[in-house]
A = this chain, B = another copy of it.
Amino acid sequence: MSNPFFKNKGPFLIYDILNFLEIKNASVPKNFEIKDIKDLYSCNNSEITFLHSKKYKDLAQKTKASFCITTENLKNELPNHCVPLIVENVLLSVSNITSMFYPNAINDDFDDTAIDISETDFKDKVIFGKNVLIGKNVSIGENCKIGHNTIIEKNVSIGDNCSIGSNTIIRNSLISNDVKILDNCVVGKHGFGFFPNKNKNLRYPHIGIVIIEENCEIGCGSTIDRGSMSNTVIGKNTFLDNQIHIAHNVKIGENSIIAGQVGIAGSSIIGSNVKIGGQAGISGHIKVGNNVEIGGGSGVIRNIPDNTKVMGYPAKNIREFLRDNK
């Protein structure tokens, strides 16, 4: 994962990280500098990683990380060069350490760096409406249109020939060429991710972004949340209708068509050439294959293999659904 937007406040000494995690007696070289926190696969030897489930033991054995936040039960899955840092709740500790490196990725207050587009260099390049605001670290390609009252908040890159509607808000997003985002959308805000806590839920950082590839269209009133530890991706030439909600870390393939009011929960992966009917819902951490058709109103709670048509709640083969519901 390479995050182009959030400023890494590291490096930190492993000594400080241990203190923060309240780990004592760990036999580590305390002046070791840790530059970043990453997943098992992309981590290198100056970075810290984490292992919270046996599912990832194969990745763990190959990690290049020098330190790994994990549990007593999982520590033996790590290679010798990787020092286990034993905690009670891996994800909570990862959240805390990620917050050390990326303190700006936790809360999404409104962007107070945004100024009127007519006070920026974009005023001669972009066709824009009234009251358009542009934040810091924004780039916009050739031949773009941005509608009235729209706010391009900080950390957004927009390609060529894009049309953004009115009353829309975008941040932390890479928008490719020839993309249309219609009115009243919110793209790139943090996802619905936090550790429940009796007195005050603890938000975890969202250091991922939203990537919208070429030729996509996003309908009115839709929300697309950015990823937490990975990105939210809408593949090339995929069209979304109105009032759709795409949660954090979701990946959608190319040439897919998603009808109105569909919701896709966190971390699900949707293939290419997929058609999803109106109001269908996809649970989190689900995998939907390529060339799948999902009937309107369906509730998908299990993986769907390639080339399948499903319908129902829970979604099943459409022939079965129609037979059972004559």
Contact = CB atoms under 8 A, between A and B. Distances in A.
The secondary structure that dominates the A interface is loop
B192 A183 contact: no
Given A107-B163, A184-B184, A281 B297 contact: yes
B261 A245 contact: yes
A196 B166 contact: no
A278 B265 contact: yes
Contacts of A223: 219-221, 242-243, 260
Interface stretch (A1-9, A54-62, A128-136): A128-136
A121 interface: no
A178 interface: yes
Nearest to A257: B196
Given A146-B110, A221-B186, A260 B325 contact: no
* Tally of this chain's copies: 3
B178 A149 contact: no
Interface string A198-230: 111100000000000001010111010100000
A304 interface: no
Given A281-B296, A313-B313, A192 B130 contact: no
B242 A243 contact: no
A116 interface: yes
Contact of A167 (B146, B167, B281): B167
Interface string A285-316: 00000000001110101000000000011100
A86 interface: no
A182 to B, nearest CB: 6
A186 to B, nearest CB: 4
Contacts of A129: 110-112, 114, 133
Contacts of A295: 301
A95 interface: no
Contacts of A166: 110, 151, 169
B299 A297 contact: yes
A210 to B, nearest CB: 13
A145 interface: yes
Interface of A: 107-112, 114, 116, 127, 129-131, 133, 145-149, 151, 163-167, 169, 178, 180, 182-184, 186, 189, 192, 194, 196-201, 215, 217, 219-221, 223, 225, 237, 239, 241-243, 245, 247, 255, 257, 259-261, 263, 265, 277-279, 281, 283, 295-297, 299, 301, 312-314, 325
17 contacts: A110-B145, A110-B183, A114-B130, A148-B151, A149-B151, A166-B169, A167-B169, A182-B189, A183-B189, A192-B219, A192-B242, A196-B255, A201-B217, A201-B237, A223-B260, A283-B296, A313-B313
Q: Which 4 residue pairs spanning A and B have beta carbons closest together?
A: A110-B147, A297-B299, A192-B241, A279-B281
